[in-house]
């Protein structure tokens, strides 16, 4: 059989380690596995009905994603994000998302705008605090669309490395009513800026969207360096912006 016959065959299923990593990633970012919690391969394997091999590989994947740390003689633990960690994540996020927004505005299509409209509508339909995790998932789904439309492979990879830690931080803050009530409208504003096709305006919009949170993180880091950043930042930003 020719090589081309193998290559054109049915798609291979995802590796078991990838499926396990996806499940653990969701458990970490949604707070099911708490910061600092030890991950025991045997227990995880039994709970997921898999062997220890895929769990071990999944832990390596999540270590590369920055969600798990391996400690000598102590095994794997979920990371604990300090304000210093989050300042690094958000300062880098602002830098790459500025480029993503500029490129997205220059390349925006009707299909992308329609997908953004769907995400915003689903976000607006969420009402209760029990749906906070869904708010975060939709928030990140909107930004995924921005990176996809930016059409820049290395830029998207950079976002994927940050995405889990951003999700972890946001899920720790979504008990705030201002986040739940205004997230959809803020993303609707970003959508309108992108639809106008002005890269400079898009860059300014994302600086406003993310910048307040970054400034608050820096203020809190400078006054309380040793504390984790799991708690909410106090109050909305200028003009009611949550900046998430």
For residue 65, pLDDT over 50 is answered with yes
Look at 1 and 77; give whichever has higher pLDDT: 77
Answer yes or no: are the C-beta atoms of 159 and 94 closer than 8 Å: no
Residue 68 backbone dihedrals phi, psi, to 5 degrees: -130, 145
Most confident of 5-14, 49-58, 174-183, 216-225: 49-58
Residue 237 neighbours by CB under 8 Å, 6+ apart = 212, 213, 216, 243
Q: How confident is the model at residue 218 (pLDDT cuts 50, 70, 90)?
A: confident
Q: How confident is the model at residue 128 (pLDDT cuts 50, 70, 90)?
A: low
Tokens read off for 194:
């992108």
Cross-strand bridge partners of residue 71: 75
Cα distances (Å, whole numbers) of residue 11 to 7, 8, 21, 241? 9, 8, 20, 44
Q: Give the position of tokens 């604990």.
A: 80
Mean pLDDT of 211-237: 65
DSSP 89-136: HHHHHHHHHHHHHHHHHHH--HHHHHHHHHHHHHHHH--SGGGHHHHH
Q: How confident is the model at residue 172 (pLDDT cuts 50, 70, 90)?
A: confident
Mean pLDDT of 65-92: 90
pLDDT at 231: 46
| Centroid of chain to Cα 201 | 23
Residue 212 neighbours by CB under 8 Å, 6+ apart = 237, 238, 241, 242, 243
For residue 123, pLDDT over 50 is answered with yes
pTM score? 0.80
Q: How confident is the model at residue 106 (pLDDT cuts 50, 70, 90)?
A: very high
Answer yes or no: are the C-beta atoms of 68 and 59 closer than 8 Å: yes
Mean pLDDT of 215-242: 59
| 3-state secondary structure at position 73 | coil
Mean pLDDT of 176-183: 66
| 3-state secondary structure at position 78 | strand
Residue 199 neighbours by CB under 8 Å, 6+ apart = 101, 102, 103, 105, 106
Tokens read off for 62:
């999540």
Q: How confident is the model at residue 176 (pLDDT cuts 50, 70, 90)?
A: low
Rounded Cα distance, 210 and 206, in Å: 6
**Average pLDDT over all residues of the chain:** 84
Name the DSSP class of 67: S
Residue 167 neighbours by CB under 8 Å, 6+ apart = 29, 136, 140
| 3-state secondary structure at position 8 | coil
Mean pLDDT of 89-96: 95
pLDDT at 127: 72
Which stretch of 7-11, 202-206, 234-238 has the lowest confidence by average pLDDT?
234-238
Tokens read off for 78:
């979920």
Look at 101 and 86; give whichever has higher pLDDT: 101
Cross-strand bridge partners of residue 70: 76
Most confident of 65-69, 117-121, 224-228: 117-121
Q: Compute the Cα dihedral for 130, 119, 101, 178 and give only its sign.
A: negative
Rounded Cα distance, 219 and 83, in Å: 9
Cross-strand bridge partners of residue 38: 77
pLDDT at 3: 45
């Amino acid at each position: 059989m020719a090589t081309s016959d193998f290559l054109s065959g049915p798609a291979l299923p995802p590796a078991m380690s990838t499926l396990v990593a996806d499940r653990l990633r969701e458990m970490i970012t949604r707070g099911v596995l708490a910061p600092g919690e030890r991950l025991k391969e045997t227990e995880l394997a039994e709970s997921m009905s898999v062997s220890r091999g895929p769990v071990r590989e999944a832990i390596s994947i999540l270590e590369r994603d920055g969600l798990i740390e391996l400690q000598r003689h102590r095994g794997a633990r979920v990371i604990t994000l300090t304000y210093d960690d989050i300042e690094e994540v958000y300062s880098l996020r602002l830098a790459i998302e500025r480029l993503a927004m500029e490129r997205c505005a220059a390349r925006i299509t009707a299909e992308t705008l329609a997908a953004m409209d769907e995400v915003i509508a689903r976000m607006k339909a969420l009402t209760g605090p029990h749906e906070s995790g869904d708010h975060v998932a939709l928030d990140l789904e909107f930004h995924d669309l921005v990176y996809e439309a930016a059409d820049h492979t290395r830029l998207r990879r950079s976002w994927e490395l940050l995405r889990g830690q951003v999700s972890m931080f946001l899920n720790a803050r979504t008990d705030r009513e201002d986040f739940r009530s205004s997230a959809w409208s803020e993303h609707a504003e970003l959508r309108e800026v992108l639809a106008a096709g002005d890269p400079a305006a898009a860059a300014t919009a994302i600086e406003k969207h993310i910048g307040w949170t970054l400034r608050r993180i820096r203020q809190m880091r400078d006054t309380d360096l040793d504390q984790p950043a799991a708690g909410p930042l106090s109050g909305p930003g200028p003009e009611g912006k949550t900046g998430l």
